[in-house]
Amino acid sequence: MFFICRYIYKHLAILTMGSDFDDISQPKSMKGKCVFSKTAVIAYVVVTCLVIVAVGLMAGLINKDQTPVQVAPVTTTTKAPAAATTIQQLQTTDITADPTVVETTVATTTSPGPWSSIRLPPFLVPTHYVVDLKPQLEPDTDGIYRFYGKSQAVFMVNQSTNYIYIHSNKLNYTKVEVNQSGDAVPVQQWWLYEPNQYLIVELQSNMTIGSSYTLITEFHGELADDLGGLYRSTYTNAAGNPVVIATTQMQPTDARKSFPCFDEPALKATFDIFLSWKSPYFALSNTPPVVQEVTNMWPGYSTTQFNTTVKMSTYLLAFVVCDFDSVEDPVNYGVQAKIYARPAQILEGNANYSAKITPEILKYFEEYFNVSYPLAKSDQIAVPDFAAGAMENWGLVIYRETALLYNPQVNSASNQQRVAAVVAHELAHQWFGNLISPLWWDELWLNEGFASYVEYLGTNQVEPTWEMMDQFTVSDLQRALNYDGLVSSRPIVAENVNTPSDINALFDTISYSKGACIIRMINQFAGDNAFKLGLENYLKEYAYGPVDHNQLFAFWSAAIASTGGTNPAPNFATAMQSWTLQMGYPVVTMTKVGATVTVTQQRFLLDPKADKTQPPSNFGYKWTIPLWYVNQSDTTFITMEWVYPDQAFTIDGLGANDFVIGNYGGYGYYLVNYDDANWKKIISQLNNDYTKIEVKTRGQLIYDAFSLARAGQLHYNITLSTTEYLVQDFHYVPWESCLDSLAYLDQMLGRSKVYGVYSNYISKLVAPLYTNVTWNDTGSHLQQYQRINAIGASCAYGNQDCINNVNTQFSDWKTTATNSITPNLRTTVYCNAIAYGETGDWDFVWEKYKVESNSQEKAKLEYALSCTRTPWVIRRFLDYILDENGFVRKQDASSVLQDLCYNEYSRDITWDYIRQRWDYIYNVYGTGFFSFSGIISSCTSHFSTEFELQELESFKATNSDKLGSGVDTVDQSLEKTRTNIQWRADYEDTIFAWLSDNTP
């Protein structure tokens, strides 16, 4: 998943990361499969006849008390369905299974009609739902887990029509009725239009404009382990027994998989939720219960009725039935905030950290937005199986365990930061996303970009020593710039977003990281007061409603004016739209001649050969740029000026020999290039006294130099020279920036003659840092992070002292059976011990992995398993990973495969294996577990030969209909491979020469 940070190889991951959420929805190619081969038509006719018989039999079999199944008119026809004029509905019954379950199989045609539009019509407006669900936590007699539901959807009619369109996916209906003010409204027929995931109800006559109607349904669906809609998750309890729970993930389009609903973010309504359970289970939902236990709503079950929700979007609903325990910090600021998790997790105190920070973060955001948290409670729960990292359901946020639980005895500083950041992110959504939601998914960045920015503010509030605001540049800024430097990127505000798969693809680096960067850039030039005032006014004006970015921009613009700030000319919205409506970013070139700097801008693309005008942009790939800069005489005095498209811009009056540095502070979403002389002056400043240059800027200088060199805009001799001063600078941010930047060289040079001098150079560069950090796990948060970088890089590039240390620590664990390796260094120690160790070491870790119950520790062991260099062990591990009933959870399979692809020694075997088993992977994991996009980008990121290019082209040709939303990723990978081939031809020799001459 895009956000699941993977330890050491994060330096590589930052280069390649795509969206891990791309594949949550059903793959495109599986949709609309109800059409129409010759065999299918014959089968259809036969089934139709059988069904008529079956329906007759059923009449006798079904208990008279059961609600009879609505039999919509069944037309038998021998014509191909495509030509039929009526929609046929078939009903079959599986009488071998639970006799109360009547399976409704609906044959649809794709006959065009008003339902052919993938977007719901604007004239049916939902106002309220009553939803009553009973998830059965044991299988039916046919071995299938199911849930049963009854629902009422109340909606207003604004245009004369006799059709009701409502979303529904994978639900089988046993009742479909319509009612107006308590009176039945005659239904002509109803059917499922699967291509658009609709239930369509045709009434005998038109509904009255301005009236309210209620759609009443009864239905059931499979409570599958598919991580979407209402699904089941399993864990082993303290007694060693499996426990099944029910939980939900609705965003973006799976609420319709739990009950029929108008499942678009702008169609907000209120909800009365009822959930049924058997003791010792209980139920949770967005609001507190009105009545904890009602009996007799479903035979044998108790039912909890929850308070009516506020007006909200369907994708924010959450339903959980579980046997968990909870904990709550005694300090709260008026909002009850409980953390729920498996009983063992609560008992071990693993929820205490999130319980403590939650009230502080809620209070901080209440003050920051100046809008109170609008609900009566704020529950958070960690479930064992979860596709994303976490989901911001209003009042009941659901997490994977690693994103909510933290145990200081066992878990690392980065595990702790992950928990704080995800909690802050999801709580930020309670305002941004929940109180106001985007009009449509194309503006998803308003949710995710915003939460991704303010998660730093929230985390900084509860952990002020973590230097969160400095970390932003090396995580989100550089990640976004890497992704957005490709021709295959996209604008923040997306175009042509229609299908669930289009929507899922938006949970990517652009919505999250670029979104966060643009919002941070605005915060920086607007100032905190105007930034906050704009947000407050916007939240208050549009609370409980849908929004788009123009409304936000209007409030920010007004706020900047009212606080005395200066808006960019000609206006704020136009200036900012140059960042949100066109893809990519500029490189700002500052050329200094004497006392004058000439500033120009040009679109930046990593591929030097790419056409800089394509695809066309309404803004012509020019931006309105807030340029922060300093000059040498006083690097503490920062100037900000606007650079406009197509307007000459110069800075005068500088000292003739001074250097100038642009994007000072790293707040701008652009690169900066200089004339060679200016670069050389900056580099000598770094070598002589780097403290004169602010730390984020030091990181950006290195990052920019590597990007520019890769694109052919700066000589590698200059780029590589920016790293030399790191023998003195031990700060995490510039080092992280350097290691992330070097990851590209590492991949390109891994199998070239240059690798010897390259790894020698890095070993020498990192040696002073390695000595400085020592193996004692002390110091500030970022010093702890830096120690991991230093030890990780030293061991990876063959420092023998490092390898010896790792081996000693690992064998102590094996021989004493006590793990005294400090949690911060476990990932590094485990991984290197496996990499440099024997098969027995791998087996030792595998045995630990199988029984480990702490999720973060388990993730470290899992990662270590992917560090092996032994071919047959790799091959055996691959089988273990794809064993559906094995020890690797489905939710993790994709990321372990990606880890194997980042390992130089395992990537070929892994890629071969994945290609051989692509059909299997696609079928078994295709509906939400697998990031096809992540797999393809990770496993091809090092491709840099003609042969690899051909291989990838043939992979694309063979699997064109089985790529899920990895389709775009294959094209991106092809683009990258071509550039990589060229890069190697152009630069290997230069880099070889520089490294040979300059290794200390």
Residues annotated catalytic, as ranges? 426
From the list ligand BES, Zn ion, none, partner contacted by residue 390 (C-beta under 5 to 8 A by kind) = ligand BES
Task: Select 451 or 909, whichever has its Cβ closest to Zn ion.
Answer: 451
> If phi over 0 gives left and psi between -120 and 50 gives alpha, with beta otherwise, what is residue 211?
beta
Q: What is the DSSP letter of 801?
A: H
Q: How far is the CB of 254 from ligand BES (least distance, A)?
A: 9
Three-class SS state of 295: strand
Three-class SS state of 646: coil
Given candidates 14, 107, 391, 446, which one binds ligand BES under the rule CB under 6 A? 391
Which helix (H) or strand (E) is 877 found in, with range? helix 871-881
Q: Report how far residue 959's alpha carbon sits from residue 914's, in angstroms, rounded to the nearest whole number.
A: 12
Task: Select 80 or 497, whichever has its Cβ closest to ligand BES.
Answer: 497
422 binds ligand BES (CB under 6 A): yes
From the list ligand BES, Zn ion, none, partner contacted by residue 146 (C-beta under 5 to 8 A by kind) = none
Q: Phi and psi for 944 in degrees, rounded to 5? A: -155, 20
> How far is it between the farthest Cα atoms of the chain?
98
Q: Report how far residue 440's alpha carbon sits from residue 181's, in angstroms, rounded to the nearest whole number.
A: 31
Please list, in sequence order, all residues whose beta carbon lies within 8 angstroms of the beta carbon of residue 120, skipping any fewer than 6 positions away.
Answer: 165, 166, 167, 262, 264, 267
- Using only the alpha carbons of the chain, give its radius of gyration: 29
Q: How far is the CB of 312 from Zn ion (least distance, A)?
A: 16
What residues between 643 and 702 interact with ligand BES by CB under 6 A? Answer: none
- Within 10 A of 945 (CB to CB), how many other CB atoms are there? 14
964 binds ligand BES (CB under 6 A): no
What residues between 439 and 458 interact with ligand BES by CB under 6 A? Answer: 448, 451-452, 455
379 binds ligand BES (CB under 6 A): no
Given candidates 429, 681, 698, 848, which one binds ligand BES under the rule CB under 6 A? 429
Q: How far is the CB of 472 from ligand BES (least distance, A)?
A: 13
Of 185-193, 287-295, 423-431, 909-917, the window that binds ligand BES (rule: CB under 6 A) is 423-431
Task: Select 422 or 829, whichever has its Cβ closest to Zn ion.
Answer: 422
Given candidates 223, 227, 390, 526, which one binds ligand BES under the rule CB under 6 A? 390
385 binds ligand BES (CB under 6 A): no
Task: Select 509 or 819, whichever has its Cβ closest to ligand BES.
Answer: 509
Q: Report how far residue 261's alpha carbon sits from residue 204's, in angstroms, rounded to the nearest whole number.
A: 22
From the list Zn ion, ligand BES, none, partner contacted by residue 1 (C-beta under 5 to 8 A by kind) = ligand BES
Q: How far is the CB of 259 from Zn ion (least distance, A)?
A: 24
- Within 10 A of 497 (CB to CB), how many other CB atoms are there? 16
Three-class SS state of 807: helix
388 binds ligand BES (CB under 6 A): yes
Q: What is the DSSP letter of 476?
A: I
Q: How far is the CB of 503 from ligand BES (least distance, A)?
A: 9
Task: Select 357 or 695, whichever has its Cβ closest to ligand BES.
Answer: 357
What residues between 488 and 517 interact with ligand BES by CB under 6 A? Answer: 507
What residues between 506 and 565 interact with ligand BES by CB under 6 A? Answer: 507
Of 152-160, 230-238, 420-428, 794-802, the window that binds ligand BES (rule: CB under 6 A) is 420-428
With beta carbons less than 8 A apart as the criterion, state whether 132 and 149 touch. yes
Q: Report how far residue 409's alpha carbon sits from residue 387's, in angstroms, rounded to the nearest whole number.
A: 27
With beta carbons less than 8 A apart as the criterion, state whether 792 and 828 touch. yes
Q: How far is the CB of 137 from ligand BES (least distance, A)?
A: 24
Which helix (H) or strand (E) is 900 found in, with range? helix 890-902
Which helix (H) or strand (E) is 73 found in, with range? none
Q: How far is the CB of 739 from Zn ion (least distance, A)?
A: 27
Which helix (H) or strand (E) is 568 found in, with range? none
Of 376-384, 425-433, 567-575, 893-901, the window that binds ligand BES (rule: CB under 6 A) is 425-433
Q: Which residue is nearest to ligand BES (CB)?
A: 389
Which helix (H) or strand (E) is 931 found in, with range? none
Task: Select 226 or 392, whichever has its Cβ closest to ligand BES.
Answer: 392
Per DSSP, the residues of 955-993 read HHHHTTTS-GGGHHHHHHHHHHHHHHHHHHHHHHHHHHH
Of 71-79, 129-137, 382-390, 885-893, the window that binds ligand BES (rule: CB under 6 A) is 382-390
From the list ligand BES, Zn ion, none, partner contacted by residue 430 (C-beta under 5 to 8 A by kind) = none
Q: Which residue is nearest to Zn ion (CB)?
A: 451
What angle is formed at CA 42 by the lines to CA 40 and CA 45, rounded to 5 degrees? 105
Q: How far is the CB of 383 from ligand BES (least distance, A)?
A: 13
Given candidates 200, 383, 421, 845, which one binds ligand BES under the rule CB under 6 A? 421
Task: Select 274 or 386, whichever has its Cβ closest to ligand BES.
Answer: 386
397 binds ligand BES (CB under 6 A): no
In the numeric block, the tokens 């294959």 are attached to 970
Q: How far is the CB of 252 from ligand BES (least distance, A)?
A: 6
Q: Report how far residue 821's alpha carbon sits from residue 488's, in angstroms, rounded to the nearest whole number.
A: 44
Task: Select 2 or 659, whichever has its Cβ closest to ligand BES.
Answer: 2
The binding track of 11-30 with respect to ligand BES, each residue x by CB under 6 A or -, is ----------x--x------
Q: Report how far residue 381's alpha carbon sits from residue 923's, in angstroms, rounded to the nearest whole number.
A: 30
Q: Report how far residue 304's alpha carbon sits from residue 133's, in angstroms, rounded to the nearest whole number.
A: 10
With beta carbons less than 8 A apart as the criterion, state whether 128 and 270 touch. yes
Which positions touch Zn ion (CB under 5 A)? 448, 451
- Within 10 A of 407 (CB to CB), how many other CB atoms are there? 20
Of 81-89, 372-380, 417-425, 481-489, the window that binds ligand BES (rule: CB under 6 A) is 417-425
Q: Report how far residue 206's alpha carbon sits from residue 161's, in angstroms, rounded to the nearest whole number.
A: 5
With beta carbons less than 8 A apart as the criterion, state whether 750 and 742 touch. no
With beta carbons less than 8 A apart as the criterion, state whether 187 and 163 touch. no
What residues between 919 and 938 interact with ligand BES by CB under 6 A? Answer: none
**How far from each other are the two terminal CA atoms of the chain, in whole angstroms?**
39
Task: Select 710 or 858, whichever has its Cβ closest to ligand BES.
Answer: 858
Q: How far is the CB of 388 from ligand BES (least distance, A)?
A: 3
Number of residues located near ligand BES, criterion CB under 6 A: 21
907 binds ligand BES (CB under 6 A): no
Report CA 605 to chain centroid distance, whole Å: 25
Q: How far is the CB of 425 from Zn ion (least distance, A)?
A: 5
Best CA proximity match to 833, nearest among 812, 851, 852, 856: 812
Q: What is the DSSP letter of 349?
A: T
Question: Would you mind telling me the total number of residues written for the chain in this entry?
Answer: 1000
From the list Zn ion, ligand BES, none, partner contacted by residue 507 (C-beta under 5 to 8 A by kind) = ligand BES
Three-class SS state of 475: helix
Q: At what angle do helices 352-369 and 413-429 cross, to 10 degrees?
A: 40
From the list Zn ion, ligand BES, none, partner contacted by residue 388 (C-beta under 5 to 8 A by kind) = ligand BES
3 binds ligand BES (CB under 6 A): yes
Task: Select 329 or 455, whichever has its Cβ closest to ligand BES.
Answer: 455
Task: Select 400 or 907, whichever has its Cβ closest to ligand BES.
Answer: 400
Task: Select 448 or 892, whichever has its Cβ closest to Zn ion.
Answer: 448
Per DSSP, the residues of 810-840 read HHHHHHHS---S-HHHHHHHHHHHHHHS-HH
Best CA proximity match to 415, nearest among 782, 773, 7: 7
426 binds ligand BES (CB under 6 A): yes
Q: How far is the CB of 255 from ligand BES (least distance, A)?
A: 12
Task: Select 3 or 406, whichever has its Cβ closest to ligand BES.
Answer: 3
Residues forming the site for ligand BES (CB under 6 A): 1, 3, 21, 24, 251-252, 388-392, 421-422, 425-426, 429, 448, 451-452, 455, 507
